[in-house]
Structure 1
Amino acid sequence: MPVMSSESTVSRPEATWDGERRALQLLVVDDDAAQRTLISLAAKQAGHAVTVVSSCADAIRELRTRRFDCVTLDLMLDDGDGTEVLKAIADGRFAGSVIVISGMDAARRTGARLYARSLGIDLQSLPKPVDLAALRICLANLGKTALGLPVVHTWGGVAADSVAAKHRS
């Protein structure tokens, strides 16, 4: 994995398109090394390109210089509040998705969602420690919508919309 700076790393998948999905360009913003590792490994295993940063300053720098499809964002960072990153996202007219992954209580995550909405950002929220199954579903759905395809939830290899269609006929 090439190192971009002392705080930022990037990994690119071998193929960015396989006919059914497109690799997302994902920015992981978290100051907790274990959570950064879990989130980035889950995304890489799903075939996405991952850039990892641990601070508000590094996240804002990356958002100003590169294009991302999705940002996973911790709200409590060593050098500031994740809402500073949300403001930079809005200022940069970021068109991707934001997934807040935070150890804050549900009320504070809801507050962040309302603040983001006031900035024109629609975000999803997951509590820490991150539920990898929920994260994988979020990323899979984002990959589908990036292609203009319908969202398909899968659990254990069974496509939920196919099962529902069988029961309708």
Structure 2
Amino acid sequence: MKAVLIDDDPEVCHLLQVQLQHIGVEARAVTTISDMLDAVRRENPDIVFVDLSLGDADGIDVFHMLRDLRFMGPIIIVSGHPEMVLRHAKDIALRMGLDAKATLRKPFKLQDLRRVLNEATNVTSTIARVNKPSPDATLREALQKDWINFWFQPQVDLKTGLIVGAECLARIRHPSDGLVFPGQFLPTADDDDLHELTIRAADAAAKAASLDLRDGVPLRFSINVSTHSMKQPGLIFQLKRMCAVSALDLTLEITESDRGDSSVCRAFATRAVLHGFKISIDDFGSGYATFERLRHTPFSELKLDRSVVNGCSGDRALRNICVATIQLAHGFNAHAVAEGVETPEDAATLAEIGCDVAQGYFYAPALPLDEFAAYVRFPKKILPRGNS
């Protein structure tokens, strides 16, 4: 494994390099952003360590540069700042489409370094490191050339430990750029292409449902629906026909980007419920989903954003936010679903405080259909349960 690490303190930089080499990682240490850029271009590292405080620059600047370099390997964020600062930095990197896997707080010991390196490599071993596509790799091109794949991230009932469903997530399988993730192609997609993506996602979910992976016990599948798709008068009936053919139990997620037109969301959600669908409010806690939306939307599921889930076991403020959100969901007779669960400690905390369902790398990343089917039939024995 090859690593590039940047820290403006030469002594810390050298120490981290020596420790990485001690545990078998080939490490290139640099103290300036220009040298870091050169090292990433030349070395093509498997992993990058980024210190947040870099003199006249900072780690956020480095995130932007790594994104521009199309680096999609794991990133470990290093800093002497409080855990909350590291967590916010990690969230920023994730929202930029980077693969921020772990944080390492100074001062650290060799066992701390081993731990975060293990976190990063354990997750990335299940999915290949990929490069970001060229700007020409648009969603429209992918739809036209049939490069779209749909992967499924398992959702686990925290009381029983059983897999109860999955979120259907789009990927582009680009012939030269490899696997392309939603954060890389959705921001530039136009409305018509997003609508076509919604239809294809539902079709993929229907195919997965038809496999009868739990021997007669149906799984619930969820897809994201764009605002433009909500405006299409025939969408609900088209989805209804798909569900009837495959016995698909489909949940429709209203994403944070739909916040700008609440009347459209409200009308769509109401009609969808009248025709037997379930509505999920996505990314609650990210700052975009509002109480006004909750009051006027007939939802049956509230999804806790990863920014409040990640680290909730060790952060009292995050735990309190999760508790309040779960109670809020239950007050509306809805289920609380936690996204971005990455550690057994967070999973156990969520189960303890009454969260209903969870998804995240702790259980499994999003998987191609054949791997998802195998996972459902033979799930890993790591599913935590609450004390209640």
Output the TM-score relative to the length of structure 2. 0.30
Distance in 2, matches of 1:145 and 1:112, equals 20
Q: CA deviation at 1:48?
A: 1.3
- Say what the alpha-carbon RMSD is for the aligned residues: 2.2
Partners of 1:91 and 1:139 lie apart in 2 by 24
Q: How many residues align?
A: 127
For residues 139 and 86 of structure 1, the distance between their equivalents in structure 2, rounded to whole angstroms, comes to 19
Matched, 1:137 2:115: yes
Matched residues in 2 for 1:147 and 1:127: separation? 24
- Deviation string 1:12-67 (CA, Å, 9 cap, x unpaired) is xxxxxxxxxxxx11011111223212211111011111101001222122223330
Q: How does 1:108-147 map to 2 (within 5 A)?
A: 108-123=85-100, 124-143=102-121
Match of 2:165 in 1: none
Report what 1:45 is aligned to. Answer: 22
Match of 1:57 in 2: 34
In structure 1, what residue type is equivalent to 2:59?
A: G
Which 5+ residue runs of structure 1 have no aligned equivalent? 1-23, 150-164
SS in 2 for 1:94: coil
- Structure 2 unaligned blocks of 5 or more: 128-380, 382-388
- Structure with greater contact order relative to length (CA < 8 Å, sep ≥ 6): 1
For residues 1-169 of structure 1, the aligned pairs below 5 Å read 24-123=1-100, 124-143=102-121, 148=126
Cα distance in structure 2, aligned partners of 1:110 and 1:64: 27
User: How has the CA–CA distance of structure 1 residues 139 and 107 changed in structure 2, closer, same or farther, with 3 Å as cutoff?
Assistant: closer
Paired residues of 1:26 and 1:71 also in contact (CA < 8 A)? yes
Contact 2:73-2:99 within 8 A present in 1 as well? no
Give deviations 1:111-163, integer Å, cap 9, x for gaps: 211210111123211111123212112224545556559xxxxxxxxxxxxxx
* Partners of 1:71 and 1:143 in 2: CA distance: 12
Seen in structure 2, the aligned counterparts of structure 1 residues 148 and 122 have a Cα distance that, compared at 3 Å, is closer
Q: Which amino acid aligns with 2:12?
A: Q
- Cα 1:34–1:64 change in 2 (3 A) is same
Q: Percent identity?
A: 28
Distance in 1 (CA, whole Å) between partners of 2:95 and 2:31 is 25
* Cα pair distance change 1:81/1:133, threshold 3 Å: same
Give the Cα–Cα distance (whole angstroms) in 2 for the partners of residues 41 and 63 of structure 1: 19
Residue 78 of structure 1: CA displacement? 2.2
Q: Secondary structure at the match of 1:28?
A: strand
User: What is the CA–CA distance in structure 1 between the aligned matches of 2:91 and 2:117, rounded to whole Å?
Assistant: 22
Q: Is the Cα–Cα contact under 8 Å of residues 7 and 31 in structure 2 kept in the other structure?
A: yes
User: Given that residues 78 and 106 in structure 2 are in contact (C-alpha distance below 8 angstroms), is that contact kept between their aligned partners in structure 1?
Assistant: yes
Tell me the SS of whatever aligns to 1:63: helix
Q: Aligned pair in 2 of structure 1 residues 112, 142: CA closer, same or farther (>3 Å)?
A: closer
Distance in 1 between residues matched to 2:125 and 2:82, nearest whole Å: 33
Deviations 1:73-115 (A, max 9, x none): 1111124111111111112221211111101222221221121
d(CA) in 2 for partners of 1:96 and 1:77? Answer: 21
TM-score by length of 1: 0.66
Checking the alignment, whether the CA contact within 8 Å between 1:72 and 1:101 is kept in structure 2 is: yes
